[in-house]
Chain A
Amino acid sequence: MMSKILKYVLLLAGLIVFGYPFVWMIIGSLKPELEISNLKLWSSMLTFNSYSQVFQKIPIGRAFLNSMFVSVSVTTLVVVLGSMVGYALAKLRFFGKSILYLLILFTMMIPFQITLIPQYVLMVKLGWTDTYLSLIIPSMMSGLSIILFRQFFLSVPQALIDAARIDGCSELHILFRLIWPLSKPVIITVAILTFMASWNDVLWPLIVVRDRSLMTMPQLVTIFVIGGEAESQLGSLLAAATLLALPVIIAYTFFQKYFIESMASSGIKG
C-alpha cells in the first residue's frame, strides 16, 4: 500500500515538473507584467499586452510563415526523394547498390561538426545566404530517412511489384501509387522526424540568414532574447516563447501517439 502511494506521488511530481513550466509560461504571457514573477498561476486580470509588444517589435508573423514554408518544403523533399532512394535500394537491381548503401551508412556517422563550416562556405559561394535555398536544399536528403524507407520497403512482397510490372506500370507509378498507400507508418515517422528537426533547428539559420524578414521563428525569438530587444520584459519573452511553442504543442496534442512512436523509433534505429 505504502509503495503504491509513493508511486503515485512520484508520478504526480513528474507531472508537475514536466508540465508546470508550460502552464506557467502560457498564463504568464497573459498576465500584467508586474504579476508574472510570482508563483501563482491565477491572476487578477488577463491581457494580450505582451503579445502586442512582441508583434510590434519583431516580424514574428512573417517568421512563422518562413518556418512553415521551410519545414514543409524540407519535409516534402525528404519524403519524396528519400522514398525513391529507399525503393531503389530495396527493390531495384543495379550495379553499385551495396556500395551506395554503405556510403549512406557512412555519411550518417560523420559528425556535423566537420561539415558545418565548409557547408556555410558553399552557401556563400553559391550566393544562397539570405535566401530560402540555404535553409531548404542542404536538408533535402537525410540518411536516416532513406534507411527507414529501405527497411520498410524490404517487407513489401515482391509478387505485388512483379504483378504491377507485368501490367506495364512504370516504377514511379509502382512507388507512388501502389507502395505509398501501404507505407503510411514509415511516411508519418519520417515526416514527423524531419518536420520537427527542421522546425526546431536554430544553429544553421543563425549561420546562413542575417536578414530579419527571412528568419525562421526559433531564430527570430533567439535574436529577440539575446539581442536585448525584449528589454528584459518578462511578459514579452514569455509571449514570444508561447508563440514559438504553441504550433508544436497543438500538433503534438492531436498526433501524440505518432510523435512518441516516431521519435522513439529514431532513437532505436539511429
Chain B
Amino acid sequence: MRFAGNIGRRIKKSDRNGYLFVLPYVIYFLAFVAYPLVFSIILMFHRWNIVTPMEWIGLKNFVRMIHDPLFFKSVGNTLIFLLIHIPLQIIVALGFALLLNSKMKFRNLYRAVYFMPVVVSGVVVTILWQQLYSYDYGVLNSVFTSLGLPRIPWLVNASFAMPSIAIMATWKNVGIYIILFLVGLQNIPGELYEAANLDGATHVKQFFHVTLPILNPTIVAIVVLSTIGGFSLFIEPYVLTGGGPMQSTLSTMLYIYNQAFYFDHMGYAATLGIVFAMIIMAVVVVQRKVIESEI
C-alpha cells in the first residue's frame, strides 16, 4: 500500500510532457512488440492456416521440427554461409582499410566506390551477380577461361552455390566494415608504432602485436553485426537460386518464409522463428566470449 502510494506520488511529481512524448512509443511497443511476442508463443502450440480457426496441438510443432531434416539443413546452410562470409569479410575489409590508411590522392574516391554496393538494394546486387556467375556467358567464367582456368559452376553445383552467395554478400557489405576498420586504425596512437620500431619489431610483428589487439573491439563489433545480418539471409537465395540446387542454399529465413507464406503453416513457422532466434542469440553470446578472450 505504502509502495503504491509512493509510486503515485512520484508519478504526480513527474513532468506530464514526459508521458505525452513517450506515449506513441508505448502504444507502438504494445502493438508491434509485446503483442507479437505473446502471440508467437501462443502460435507455437497451434496449427493454423490463418483462414480456419486455430487448433490446439500441444507440442506437436516441436516434435515435427525435431523430425524435420530440412529445417536442420537450412540452419546448417546458414552456418556454412556465416563461416565463409565472416572471415572473408574481415580479411578483405582489413586489407583495404590498411591500404587506405595513409595520405594519398583520390582517397575519397576509392572509399566512395568501395562503399557503393552497401547503399544499393540487395535485389540490384543479386541481379548483377546472377549475370557475373552465369556458367556459359558470365564475366567471371570469361575471365577464368581467358586465363586458361576451367569454368566454375558457381550457382549450378550444390557445393559451390552457398560459397558463391557468401562471396556476393561480402562484396555487398564489405564497404561498411572498411570504414569501421579505418576508424579503428585512426584511433591507434602513432607513438605505439614508434616504440615498436625502436624495439626493432618488423612490420609483420607490429601488425600482430600492436594493430590487431587494438582493433579487437572493432573485430568483435563486425563479427556480431555480420552474424546477426547473416542469419537473416533471405533475398539473395530467394532471387538467385530459390534455395537450390538440391536445397544447398535454402537459408533458414527462406525456409521459414516458405512454411508461413507458401504452405500457410503459421504455427509451425512461428515455432521455427522462435527456435531460430534462440540459436542466433546463443551463437552471438558464445562468439563474444570467444573473441574477446582470444585476441
Contact = CB atoms under 8 A, between A and B. Distances in A.
Interface of A: 7, 10-11, 14-15, 17-19, 21-22, 24-25, 37, 39, 81, 84-85, 87-89, 92-97, 100, 103-104, 107, 109-122, 124, 137-138, 140-141, 146, 171, 196, 199-200, 202-203, 206-207, 218, 221-222, 225-226, 234, 237-238, 240-241, 244-245, 248-249, 252, 256, 259-260, 263-264, 267-268, 270
Contacts of A119: 32, 36
A206 B122 CA distance: 14
Q: How large is the interface on B (under 10, 10 to 19, 20 to 34, 35 or more residues)?
A: 35 or more
Nearest to B27: A141
Contacts of B122: 200, 202, 218
Contact of B261 (A17, A22, A207, A268): A207
Given A11-B110, A97-B18, A260-B115, A267 B221 contact: yes
A11 B110 CA distance: 7
B276 interface: yes
Contacts of B176: 263-264, 267
A175 B130 CA distance: 48
A93 B238 CA distance: 48
B37 interface: yes
- Binding site secondary structure of chain B: helix
A124 to B, nearest CB: 6
9 contacts: A7-B99, A21-B132, A109-B281, A111-B280, A141-B24, A207-B261, A221-B121, A244-B121, A263-B179
Nearest to B272: A113
B212 interface: no
A44 B33 CA distance: 56
A122 B22 contact: no
Given A110-B33, A111-B228, A268-B221, A15 B113 contact: yes
Given A207-B261, A267-B221, A225 B115 contact: no
Contact of B96 (A14, A95, A248, A264): A14
B81 interface: no
B17 A171 contact: yes
B221 A222 contact: no
Contacts of A112: 232
Given A14-B96, A85-B24, A114 B269 contact: no
Contacts of B126: 225
B123 A118 contact: no
B235 A237 contact: no
B238 A226 contact: yes
A234 B139 CA distance: 14
Nearest to A15: B113
A15 B99 CA distance: 13
Contacts of A225: 123, 126-127, 239
A18 B33 contact: no
Contacts of A137: 32
Contact of A18 (B21, B114, B180): B114
A117 B119 contact: no
Contacts of B22: 84-85, 88-89, 100
B31 interface: yes
Given A22-B116, A92-B18, A260-B115, A146 B25 contact: yes
Contacts of A22: 116, 120, 128
A200 B121 contact: yes
Given A92-B21, A241-B128, A259-B115, 18 more contacts: A88-B18, A92-B15, A92-B18, A93-B18, A96-B11, A96-B14, A100-B26, A111-B232, A116-B256, A199-B121, A218-B123, A225-B239, A226-B239, A226-B242, A245-B124, A248-B119, A260-B112, A263-B118
